[in-house]
Amino acid sequence: MMTWTRWWLWRWRRGGRARGVTTGSSNKDAVGEMGVTGVRLWARPVPATLSPAAGPGRAMKVLLLAGLGALFFAYYWDDNFDPASLQGARVLLTGASVGVGEELAYHYARLGSHLVLTAHTEALLQKVVGNCRKLGAPKVFYIAADMASPEVPERVVQFALDKLGGLDYLVLNHLGAAPAGTRARSAQATRWLMQVNFLSYVQLTSLALPSLTDSKGSLVVVSSLLGRVPTSFSSPYSAAKFALNSFFGSLRRELDVQDVHVAITMCVLGLRDRASAAEGVRGVTRAKAAPGPTAALAVIRGSATRASGVFYPWRFHLLCLLRGWMPQPRAWFIRQELNITTPAAA
């Protein structure tokens, strides 16, 4: 009876001859050794001479990897953005008075979209509305609203539906920022930040989703790198942004399972290009603000092509990938982005 070891050795011998492996013995010697001294064959060194057949196998692996790399770059660099697709689109844009939100309003106006703009400060909104009309927006409406109030989101969505008759895009961009540092860790500050930066997003989404479902529209969520990679002195703000990422990631899967054709585009941006954002981190971080017009254009292109994610600047995508490999960065690495030399007070 042939034991398992002898069977394996027999297969190894046949495979070696089939692949041109030089064993240093004739077929006759091999049969004799297999029948009598199979254990000695187990201990023999691995053949060093390979046939040319091994070359194509290795070449196929190289070609496969190269093909995957080409597909990766084609996926991320493919640009099928059609500006005409936004002409006549019905857009509700929050946080539209300054920074990226203001630039988003101007881009949509140039592209011929119908707009409802909302923000906290009415005077700034009126200025943006006037500029949008000059840029050629067919319809522009505004409603001043403070998202810190739980009753406001319903009023905003109903206003937009009444004025536009429905929605094709819901662009959630409003931001409630607290000064960076330990003084922002209080329960009261955290509760306020969660209402503005997370709960109001959930309310607006749930109220607008029926209209977006009818139009097969898009949800555009302007978030932050702090929703993917936690950093120092931003605990409540980072918690709200992480909550956004988890909520809309789960919602995307629910809509896919239910065959609801509403796209969700998560936009990971850097420090906002606005005075309040710069003042909030003054003296704490060395990070530079992202230019508003180019960041806004990246958001519009990504949402119009129904991309699942937008990263601006592009290196933020790499940082998010690296976080999976280095989830606990060293303190010295973190301090490279900070202007601190002593530990913060608890």
Q: What is the 3-state secondary structure (H, E, C) of 32-82?
A: HHHHHCHHHHHCCCCCCCCCCCHHHHHHHHHHHHHHHHHHHHHHHHCCCCC
User: Considering 106, 142, 201, 237, which one is annotated as catalytic?
Assistant: 237
Task: State yes or no: is 169 an active-site residue.
Answer: no
Per the listing, tokens 């091994």 go with 54
Distances from the Cα of 126 to the Cαs of 60, 104, 158, in angstroms?
A: 62, 15, 20
Q: What is the C-alpha to C-alpha distance for residues 72 and 66, in angstroms, rounded to an integer?
A: 10
Catalytic positions: 237
